[in-house]
Amino acid sequence: MDTDKPLVGVIMGSASDAGVMKGCVDVLKEMKIPSEVKILSAHRTPEQTREYAATAAKRGVQVIIAGAGWAAHLAGAVAAQTTLPVIGIPIDSSPLNGMDALLSTVQMPSGIPVATVALGKGGAKNAAVLAAQILALKYPPIEEEVSRYRKALTLAASERIDSWDDKER
């Protein structure tokens, strides 16, 4: 595992999605997984999106995470150009609270899957965790990070278990 080359490509459809996507990038950093971040639009920069997706594997990228709102085609457009696993984050930036982005991302036709996670910030974090779980199958250091992350999550949640009760009484 060459720590200089990005293993995960993180892309988003618009600069306005950066606030949501930061959750994704932060988790990747926390797990020390090298990544690259780009703003690419399936509709406004289709050539660059295609080029990015078609060359990702050659450049060493192993998982692509794509976040987009509205008629969110980004993850699907990328999945059409590569056989790397593509994770889609539907972003709730439209008046329809993200139902449009969710259906546009998850309802992919037979043969070209997108691994879709939850809407918005929670989904952005989970996309990073899912990418780590995929890479952990191959890279023992990432497996350790995933294991550590889950234990910390459980521990933090466990410590909270009686806290509210105590406060209340």
Site for a copy of itself in 32-91 (CB under 8 A): 36-46, 48, 50, 62-63, 70-71, 73, 76-77, 79-81, 83-85, 87
Tell the smallest beta-carbon distance from residue 18 to a copy of itself (Å). 5
Alpha helices for 7-139 (secondary structure H): 18-30, 46-56, 74-79, 99-106, 120-136
Residues 139-168 as b/e (b if ≥16 CB within 10 A, e otherwise) read beebeebbeebeeeeeeeeeeeeeeeeeee
> Interaction with a copy of itself in 83-142: which residues (CB under 8 A)?
83-85, 87, 92, 94-100, 102-122, 125-127, 129-130, 133-138
Tell the smallest beta-carbon distance from residue 132 to a copy of itself (Å). 9
Count of residues engaged in binding a copy of itself, rule: CB under 8 A = 90
What single-letter amino acid sits at 33? I
